[in-house]
């Protein structure tokens, strides 16, 4: 092949790709969530409360409330499940719900449900958010939660060491876990790269974007050994079926 011929073939390919680009980027957002768009009020023996953040930058307090309220009880600012910081970094069409669940034995877990919108950036690698002041990721592993009536659910469990300085200057340390999985367009995975692959697959080959849910559960290692994660398993077994019953599939919406 002569160099000139190669050049024209290459130029032709470039032009073809350029012409194809608009159709690649015209992705239709199909608002069909694979799981419920809000967390359940209660899950088995776990009683839920709302986690809400004041959106007034002067106040920005976090609340755990029995009733869903739209106004801050102290300053009257708007309340949102996402903090001011989270809203600043996430796209406007991100949907979220956060609850704190307490079991009769006093065990407390916090759950967050976040749905991606048209923009892929709504859900990013969760570890990114965990790198806060005084927090350090010290472990990362998979955990299978078994069910009596379905295949096991694969969870990613991130262990975080927290350190806080008390008013008297004394340092306190605690270890927390942060477990999550993703669900979108009938697929579920605990892997961020796998989720990115499926999102890209739907966008590039099908010109479709589907809302992906990111469901995370966090708790404290307040007992030795595996006991805290066994409580997590119990919670997942209660909440999973509730997130998959009565899923309302909305009709396709165009861009």
Residues in contact with Zn ion by CB under 5 A are 54, 56, 59, 72, 74-75, 77
Q: Among 36, 72, 63, which Cα is nearest to 239's?
A: 36
Pick 75 or 204: Cβ nearer Zn ion: 75
- Taking each continuous run of H as one helix and of E as one strand, the counts in the chain are 5, 13
Q: How far is residue 66 from each of residues 17, 185, 200, 238, measured CA to CA in Å?
A: 54, 32, 39, 20
Pick 76 or 152: Cβ nearer Zn ion: 76
Nearest approach in angstroms of CB 83 to Zn ion is: 12
List the structure tokens of 3: 């160099």
Nearest approach in angstroms of CB 72 to Zn ion is: 3
Nearest approach in angstroms of CB 58 to Zn ion is: 8
Task: Annotate 147-174 with b (16+ C-beta within 10 A) or e (fewer).
Answer: eeeeeebebbbbbbeeeeeeeeeeeeee
Pick 69 or 253: Cβ nearer Zn ion: 69
Pick 42 or 56: Cβ nearer Zn ion: 56
Nearest approach in angstroms of CB 61 to Zn ion is: 5
Pick 59 or 175: Cβ nearer Zn ion: 59
Nearest approach in angstroms of CB 181 to Zn ion is: 33
Q: What angle do CA 159, 156, 211 make, to 5 degrees?
A: 125
CB 195 within 8 A of CB 172: no
């Amino acid at each position: 092949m002569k160099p000139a011929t190669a050049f024209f073939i290459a130029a032709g390919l470039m032009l073809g790709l350029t012409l194809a680009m608009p159709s690649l980027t015209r992705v239709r957002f199909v608002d069909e969530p694979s799981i419920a768009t809000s967390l359940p009020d209660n899950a088995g023996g776990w009683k839920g409360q709302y986690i809400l953040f004041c959106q007034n930058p002067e106040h920005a307090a976090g609340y755990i409330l029995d009733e869903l309220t739209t106004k801050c009880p102290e300053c009257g600012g708007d309340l949102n499940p996402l903090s001011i910081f989270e809203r600043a970094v996430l796209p406007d069409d991100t949907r979220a719900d956060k609850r704190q669940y307490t079991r009769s034995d006093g065990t407390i877990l916090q759950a967050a449900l976040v749905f991606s919108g048209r923009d892929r950036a709504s859900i990013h690698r969760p570890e990114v958010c965990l790198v806060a002041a005084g927090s350090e990721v010290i472990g990362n592993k998979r955990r299978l939660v078994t069910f009596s009536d379905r295949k096991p659910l694969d969870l990613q469990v991130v262990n975080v060491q927290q350190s806080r300085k008390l008013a008297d200057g004394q340092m306190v340390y605690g270890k927390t876990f942060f477990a999550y999985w993703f669900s979108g367009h009938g697929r579920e995975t605990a892997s961020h790269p796998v989720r990115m692959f499926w999102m890209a697959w739907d966008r590039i080959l099908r010109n479709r974007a589907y809302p992906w849910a990111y469901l995370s559960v966090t708790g404290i290692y307040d007992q030795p050994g595996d006991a805290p994660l066994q409580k997590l398993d119990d919670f997942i077994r209660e909440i999973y079926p509730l997130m998959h019953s009565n899923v309302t599939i909305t009709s396709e919406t165009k861009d």
